[in-house]
A and B are shown apart, each in its own frame.
Chain A
Amino acid sequence: MNLAELKYNQEALVVKVKDNELSLKLLEMGLLPGETVLLENIAPFGDPIAIRVGEYKMCIRLQDATQIEIKLK
């Protein structure tokens, strides 16, 4: 399962990020494997989405979200 498939108000654990470049960026922004993410908002046209990572809210496009492997809590 990947992050783009997460539904509104659903929580999941990050497993890993496939894209190398994206992975480093996300690590810097605190999205680490094992971290909990929660889908908090969906933009009016269904994309991008806003997820809670740690103690803040981050927005990410669906095409990038597909690179993030997750498992439901």
Chain B
Amino acid sequence: MKEQLTVALIGNPNSGKTSLFNALTGLNFKVSNFPGTTVEKKVGICKLANDIVAQVVDLPGTYSLYPKSADELVTYDMLRNKSEINFPDLVLFIADASNLKRNLLLLSQVADLGVPVILALNMVDLAEKRGVFYDIEVLSEALKIPVLSINARKRNGIDEIKKMMLEEHHGNRSTYFNIDFLEVQFLDEVSVITDKKNHYAGLQYAINAANFNTPKSKQIKQLFEKYQFDSKAFQEKEILERYHIIDDAVRLSRKQKPGSFAKSFTNKLDKILTHRFSGLSIFLLLMFLVFQAIFSLSIYPMEWVEILFMKSSEYIQQSLPDGILNDLIVHGILAGLSGVMVFLPQIIILFAFIAVLEDVGYMARVGFIMDRIMRPFGMNGKSIVPLISGMACAVPSIMASRSIENKKERLITILVIPLMSCSARLPVYTLLISMLVPDNSHFGPFNMKGIVLMFMYFIGFAAALFSAFIFKFFVKTETKNFFLMELPSYKVPVLNNILITLYDKGKAFVWGAGKIIVAVSVILWALASFGPREKMYSIDQKYIELAKSPNTLFTTEALVAQKSSEKLQASYAGEFGKWIEPAIRPMGFDWKIGIAILTSLAAREVFVGTMSTIYSVGGDIGDLNSIRHKMLSEINTETGKPVYSIATVLSLLIFYAFALQCMSTVSIVRSETKSWKWAGIQFIYMTTLAYLSSFIVFHIFS
């Protein structure tokens, strides 16, 4: 029987916690959320000895046990209750040696909860470059905690840590901050209410619970009043006293030698990267590079994904007997999946860039230099990267907004990201713009189509900023908005860290978007394939007759295309189109467009495919020219005018720019915000915006 230790990995942000977690567990980890929160929970397995493994729980980086939100309160709950099954056998605390004093504050708080702690001293090399040397033995003695020097990024000292985890999980504890100066009776009562045996754990939980709206906060506030306990004053006293104790330990073990912070590499680089001119230029250049890479590097891999799906569709189509199952798998599930998975290469490239920028420490600088611009829109500097990435695909960008610590700013960013024109809109824009602008039209030296396309991207960006500005007044959060952020020292990127991030994000995208897309595709497939029995039957009969009679007018291919067009129009999707026609008529849309709006809920570019089916282009759906011609020659039977007037095409363009026609986005927003509420609000506000704008555009131009 294997023995399993539970180890909590704790440390400040930027202390190298992720590197250490990766070094300990490799790909052997699972990501979920802490129950009831949006805080990511990573749990990995690490083999310590032949018969002992450690279950390593990566707790979110923090500066103290007094968190900023109720969410974070939950994450540290596992440390507060000894009776809980998840109570760790050991805390592995990682500290940045180049900034030891601040890191040890959290360590002292954690130790006072009554958990055995070992200290992994990271980035010793960086500290030494700045002339700061620590005597590990003296430090260990002063802190009364086992200490080990490691380099998480270079994976030095990992075996020693595993050995130490085996040895040290039994005991050793010391109290740093003594709360005996408080009345015992008060502490006992706190312990009863909070259900924590350890006095400090109880009091700490109570202070947090009183600050946030938790079920017990009223009861706790009354207790504080009864004993005239001032929690703010207590916290201040606690922190100052802890620093006092830490100061002594640090001073004893520390030796100063020549070297300085001011001359450090980070400081020199920051002079350039945060500079008024060079800083902004380098940032814009980098974003341009990222954007270029997303589109140009992804061309071939995207083709491979398409070919892969095409080949497997062909294979299944041929190997399964004709019938509903065959049709469902090929035209329902595989077609739907292929429409979304084709974006996987772009997503991987985007995350590769983001992971590198994050790993080297540049991301914090982006937040720093862009903060002033983004702030009026209720976002912070870090929002710019997810926003720009939104031009590739909203799904990974929404995932990337996790780097924004402030809840309100993160939520606003998530809400407006899908307004950025993503690559799934590109085929739709291309088709519609080609119906609008003659092929060889130019504006000066520029291609007119290109200008219109650029304008569409601009409109998306403007709408995103505008909506963010509005949301600023409606989104409320429980805590004040401080943008206190460490600008960590620059580091050489570690390939292992980046690959693990890519694996994690890629998996999250494939599963997250894949699940919902399969479900949506199956429903849409059923709506488009089935219809009222009599209608469908008579179409079948008609074409059986046509096929029998020798007909020289139509080729077989044309007949097949004609038949699928008629069937689609007679299907439930067609019925739906007719049913919503009164609602979409004010935007200048007819029921056929209604069908395409429905089917493109799976992914926007499906619009093009549906149009080609409706207008029975058949064969290669990539043939834009023939779809365009058929659409343009469509005449409205009631008015005798073309269906696709300039007003209608413009209105459609605007509709696709603003409407949330993407179920993968809805599902990722739900999982990232942990509620249907925000996903719903987003869907409704974007649809309303699209509807109103299209309505206005249609009426201006008709």
Q: Are A52 and B261 in contact (CB under 8 A)?
A: yes
State the Cβ distance, B325 to closest chain A Cβ, in Å: 58
Chain B interface residue count, Cβ-Cβ cutoff 8 angstroms: 46
Say yes or no for A29: interface residue by CB 8 A criterion.
yes
CB of B357 within 8 A of chain A?
Answer: no
Main secondary structure of the interface of B (DSSP, over half): helix
In the complex, what distance in Å separates the CA atom of A37 from the CA atom of B488?
Answer: 16
Contact A47 B371 (CB under 8 A): yes
Known contacts A48-B368, A56-B102; A24/B239 CB under 8 A: yes
CB < 8 Å: which of A29, A40, A42 contacts B484?
A: A29
A58 and B484 within 8 A (CB): yes
Query: With a CB–CB cut-off of 8 A, which chain A residues contact B261?
Result: 52, 55
Question: Do A64 and B483 touch across chains, with their CB atoms under 8 A apart?
Answer: yes
Tell me, in angstroms, the Cα distance from A61 to B625 when the chains sit together.
Answer: 54
Residue B236 at the chain A interface, CB threshold 8 Å: yes
> How many Å from the CB of B131 to the closest CB on chain A?
11
Say which residue of B66, B102, B271, B485 sits within 8 Å of A59 (CB atoms): B485
Which of A24, A32, A43, A57 contacts B371 (CB under 8 A)? A43
Q: Using Cβ atoms and an 8 Å threshold, which residues of chain B touch A21?
A: 479-480
A41 interface residue, CB < 8 Å from B? yes
In the assembled complex, how far is the CB of residue A37 from the closest CB belonging to chain B, in whole angstroms? 13
Any B CB within 8 A of the CB of A25: yes
A residues in contact with B276, CB < 8 Å: 44
A1-32, CB < 8 A from B: 20-30, 32
Contact status A44-B275, CB under 8 Å:
yes
Judge whether B64 and A28 touch: CB under 8 Å.
yes
Q: How far is the CA of A29 from the CA of B101 in the complex (A)?
A: 10
- Interface secondary structure of A, over-half rule: mixed
Pick the contact of A61 from B267, B479, B483, B488 — CB < 8 Å? B483
Residues of B near A40 (CB, < 8 A) are: 267, 270
CB neighbours (8 Å) of B275 from chain A are 44
* Complex contact B486–A58 (CB within 8 A): yes
Q: Which residues of A contact B130 (CB under 8 A)?
A: 55
Contact status B369-A44, CB under 8 Å: yes
With known contacts A32-B243, A40-B270, A41-B271, A25–B372 Cβ distance under 8 A: no
Give the interface size class of chain A: 20 to 34
Q: State A29–B64 Cα separation when bound (angstroms).
A: 9
Return the CB mask of A39-73 against B: 1 if under 8 Å, else 0. Answer: 01111111110101011111111001000000000
A12 to B157 CA separation, bound complex (whole angstroms): 39
A23 touches B280 (CB 8 A): no
Judge whether A64 and B484 touch: CB under 8 Å: yes
Q: With a CB–CB cut-off of 8 A, which chain B residues contact A24?
A: 66, 232, 235-236, 239
Known: A40-B270, A54-B99. A20 touches B232 (CB 8 A): yes
- Nearest CB of chain B from residue A1's CB, rounded to whole Å: 20
Bound-state CA distance A52–B479 (Å) is 25
In chain B between 94 and 150, which residues have their CB closer than 8 angstroms to a CB of chain A? 98-102, 105, 130, 132
Q: List the A residue with the shortest CB-CB distance to B64.
A: A28
- The yes or no answer to B482 lying at the interface (CB within 8 A) is yes
Chain B, residues 468-496, CB within 8 Å of chain A (1/0): the string is 00000000000110111111100000000
CB distance from B342 to the nearest CB of A (A): 38
Asked if A50 and B101 make an inter-chain contact with CB atoms under 8 angstroms apart, the answer reads no
Kindly state whether residue B240 has any CB partner on chain A within 8 Å: yes
Closest to A67 in B: B482
When the two chains form their complex, are residues B484 and A43 in contact, meaning their CB atoms are under 8 A apart? Answer: no
Given contacts A24-B235, A28-B64, A55-B98, contact A50 B487 (CB under 8 A): yes
New A-B pairs, 12, CB < 8 Å, besides A26-B484, A28-B63: A24-B235, A25-B68, A30-B101, A40-B267, A43-B274, A43-B371, A44-B274, A44-B369, A55-B98, A58-B484, A58-B487, A59-B368
27 contacts across the A-B interface (CB closer than 8 A): A20-B232, A24-B232, A25-B68, A29-B102, A30-B101, A30-B102, A41-B270, A42-B274, A43-B371, A44-B279, A44-B280, A45-B373, A47-B372, A48-B368, A48-B372, A54-B99, A55-B98, A55-B100, A55-B102, A55-B130, A56-B486, A56-B488, A57-B270, A58-B487, A59-B485, A60-B482, A64-B484
